[in-house]
Chains A and B, each alone.
Chain A
Amino acid sequence: MRAEALKGHLDGLLLAALEERPRHGYAVKEALRDTTEGRIDLPTGTIYPALHRLERAGLIAGSWSVVGGRRRRSYELTAAGRTALSRERTGWQEFAIAITAALGTRPWPATS
């Protein structure tokens, strides 16, 4: 999937990746890739500044720990982050319904 297609949705995707449990940057990227079955596989290095931006906005909170002798920063959703994620979901569902209707998309054919 092209990076431009994700514009405006990256924040929601990152928040969703943190919904289940706290994760560090690389784990967020892996979670995104796994849940989308490899369709969204962002350059890992660009995930970190996006996480920092979300942290400054108060949507996630970061904390340092030591794992395997390395310092690691993990992030978890804040209450404001959960609200923002819920809003993102609603917005996306409305957007998807509208675009699907406008494009006249037919249902996917059965594969079995």
Chain B
Amino acid sequence: MAGHELISAQLAVLAARLPAQAVEELADGLQESYEHHLRCHGDSEVAARAAIAQFGDAEMITAAFVRASPWRRMTLALLATGPIMAAVWAAALLSGHAWDWPLPAPAKILYGVALLSAAIMLAFSALTTRNYRRMRRAVTSAAIGLILLDLVMMIAVLTLAPTLTWPMAIAIPASLLRVLAVGRTLPAASAAQLY
């Protein structure tokens, strides 16, 4: 691309933060803006600086992409429903006397660590506005983790609980709903590589 080194540097910053196709689209716009200013000012340095100023800085652009992304909505939805799911499952496990279930301690610890990791990744995703790619990786990992954790918990309850209590009858459909919702959203969001 016959541009300016400042334009290339700005695109390199954006490329580290945004999806490749979005950067390609931004590159076209930035180049178009640069050529417009070059025609007006006749000086490539001035034109490059004017084009970058007109575009907005990398933080502002990344934050705008993050705000408009389907991944952001997924993060917020999972964070908003997290405490409800936790309360529902806590009630289910308490009502089923889960501490008496024949589960090895390392399995319980591993489950807890995985759950905590998913929560941390979701929180990280919610707080990340400066790097779209990291935000997307974090929420994708958290969402896949939550699907697996939901499935493990449902299998554990159905196979280990001596009786099905009414809190379990609420928790299992709630988890199934979350698995289905995340399972539908993940491929759609992943397919839209621009975003």
Contacts and interface: CB of A to CB of B under 8 A. Distances in A.
Nearest to A67: B28
Given A25-B25, A44-B54, A49 B33 contact: no
Given A25-B25, A56-B192, A70-B1, A50 B68 contact: yes
- Per DSSP, are chain B's interface residues mostly helix, strand or loop, or mixed? helix
Given A48-B22, A52-B68, A53-B68, A26 B56 contact: no
A26 B29 contact: yes
Contact of A46 (B22, B33, B61): B61
Contact of B31 (A45, A46, A49, A70): A70
Contacts of A82: none
Contacts, number: 73
B33 A26 contact: yes
Contacts of B27: 70
A53 B73 CA distance: 12
A104 interface: no
Contact of B28 (A46, A49, A72): A72
A53 B65 CA distance: 9
Taking residues whose C-beta sits less than 8 angstroms from the other chain, chain B's interface range is: 20 to 34
B55 interface: yes
B194 interface: yes
A31 to B, nearest CB: 13
Interface in B143-179: none
Contacts of A71: 24-25, 28
A50 B66 CA distance: 11
Contact of A43 (B24, B31, B54): B54
A48 B26 contact: yes
A24 B69 contact: no
Contacts of B55: 43-45
A26 B65 contact: no
Nearest to A62: B194
B64 A26 contact: no
A44 B29 CA distance: 8
Interface of B: 1, 22, 24-33, 54-56, 60-61, 64-65, 67-70, 192, 194-195
9 contacts: A25-B28, A26-B33, A45-B26, A45-B29, A49-B65, A52-B65, A56-B192, A72-B28, A73-B24
